[in-house]
Amino acid sequence: MSQWLLETGEYSDFMIECQGQTFKAHRAVVCPQSSIIDALLKKDLEETQTSTVHIDGFSVEAVQCLLRFIYGVPRPLNVPVNTILDPMAASSTKEFQFKTTGQSQIQVAPTAEDDKKNRLVFLVWANAIADSYKVQGLCKLTCDKIKSLLENEWAPEIFLKVAQVVPIATGDMAVHHLFAQVAAEHVEDLAKHENGLSGLLALDGFFTLFLKHSAARVAELKKTANNQANQAQTLSTKVMACIKKLNDTKKCRHCAVKFDCYIETSLSTLRCAACQTRHPCT
Ligand SMILES: [Zn+2]
């Protein structure tokens, strides 16, 4: 039903305008999910007696994502991404939409790498619009998608380029933390891209978050190393006890035949191969 309202614009009672394009929307659907749009609409009604919310600083596609999410359209982020992106990000996106050869500028098909980068940048902007208009569900959805793309398709060059967009694009601290955490987890890999990494660390606020997540990672690695050292120590003690027991036991105490045994997988007991009697090692 909601999807039908969005697609047809029937019973619309206000407009959303972005980059010269208008979308017919419904207070009853949008306002409960975005306190910001609700407030803007009330202000607009008071001041101009119109019912239009102007969205600046975002692409039409980002607005489409926002509305698709609010109206419960399945796969709300599923909009074409090759031509998107906010005007603020345009200078950084042109480079992969166009390449120059000699005098003429020709459009080239995006490579798989361009696609991945476009997709990530788009998700950051979809997160940004969700954060700006306080649509928490879309903030979480986009953050989860970014996390899964970063983790499942790790590519340091793309990460470094997209991470540059994060501080200027979104105010969602969950995404800032996510990029700092991923940078801390892949710091050895990122260090091979010295310029990219130093550029990233120079970004406002990023260095502090990076240090915080690096410290957490070091603590986690120490914990793992300690656990492994303890396990190795326990194993070594058990093996030594087994060897001692084997050396000390000449005959089975039960059947008294020459001791032919096997070690149980717990490494704590020798068992007589003839009568199965247990000979604890400790
Ligand atoms: Zn025996």
Distance 243 CA to ligand 1 centre (A): 18
CATH code of the domain made up of 2-90+110-204: 3.30.710.10
Q: Which residues have CB atoms below 5 A from the ion given as ligand 1? A: 252, 254-255, 272, 274-275, 277
Question: If residue 71 lies in a helix (H) or strand (E), which one and from where to where?
Answer: none
**DSSP character for 80?**
-
Distance 279 CA to ligand 1 centre (A): 9
* Sequence ranges of the domains in the chain: 2-90+110-204, 219-280
Provide the phi-psi class of 261: left if phi over 0, else alpha when psi is between -120 and 50, else beta.
Answer: beta
Q: How far apart are CA 97 and CA 114, in angstroms?
A: 8
Mean of the per-residue pLDDT values of the chain? 85
User: Does the pLDDT at position 85 exceed 60?
Assistant: no
**DSSP character for 274?**
T
Q: How far apart are CA 173 and CA 63, in angstroms?
A: 21
Distance 192 CA to ligand 1 centre (A): 62
Distance 271 CA to ligand 1 centre (A): 8
pLDDT tens readout for residues 181-227:
999 999 999 999 988 888 888 888 899 999 999 999 999 999 999 99
